[in-house]
Structure 1
Amino acid sequence: MKRIENTTSRQVTFSKRRNGLLKKAYELSVLCDAEVAVIIFSQKGRVYEFSSSDLQKTVERYRKNTKEVQIDMPHTELYTEKAKQEIGNMVKKIELLEVSQRRLLGQELGSCSIEELQEIDGQLEQSLRSIRARKSGAKSSPKLTEAIRNFIPSCQTSEVETDLFIGLPYKKFHPKLPDI
């Protein structure tokens, strides 16, 4: 689509399209019970308008509505910025938790300092104490043991010694050294 170069053709097209636009605005207001206002300025400065109600009230309503939208924009941008920062913080926390989980599973320990390894050791020891306490509590509660046996009929209880070694795999990081 481009501007019509011939002045007469352009004026005829303007008149036809203007009338069509005003007719459509009227139809929209009647069919949909919408408040419609159309203002058209010709190239020569003539004003053509249609309004389904008081044009001044419609224009004031428009101005008020656009001011409210502009006032709300900084709040929306501020909210969006805060949400982006919160997402970034959550991503970092998730990454740290994933690293911590891998280390507790004995993975990626090569980059750990002695202090970090001691902290992991302490966390695992505390977990083992909790597991052993719960396990011994289940043994001392006959009702709980009976409930477990009823729930899983094929379940047989047996003593299992739980030993856990925390530290770097010796041969993996020192392949040239003799076995300990």
Structure 2
Amino acid sequence: MNHKLNVNGQTRTVDADPAMPLLWVLRDKLSLTGTKFGCGAALCGACTVHLDGQAVRACVTPISAAAGHRLTTVEDLAAGSDRVGRAVLDAWVAHDVAQCGYCQAGQVMAATAFLKRLPRGHRPSDAEVDAAMSGNLCRCGTYTRIRAAVIDAARALA
């Protein structure tokens, strides 16, 4: 079955079963491999993407749920057109967050969605950042650097 998707601002037509998870549509059908497979059960956050600006787990979100919605991947943030995403990526580099890097796309997508929800100029507390990022796991344990990067990005956006 054909599905029209708005992926990173472009209309894409994908032939896939309506139940196929977005993760596999992105990786296998559209060659957007920045979104990672981690657990396949929406527990780790490695596959986080934005659906109409909301962070969702692509491993459990079927392609049929994305039809008619705006889907954003880490590739779009890396392209630099998203102001909040750019601030997050800059802070990620400044704080040398990534070690193995496997979870980073999902972490960046979660952080970007979080910062976009904040009132303009709001500087989140450590507890707010920890709560917002709690669904994204990091095998390397860079949580303190992740928190510092999110807070720095919020400061840069204020």
Compute the TM-score of the two structures, normalised by the length of structure 2: 0.18
Query: With CA pairs under 8 Å and 6+ residues apart, which has the higher RCO, 1 or 2?
Result: 2
Greater helix content = 1
Structure of higher CA gyration radius: 1
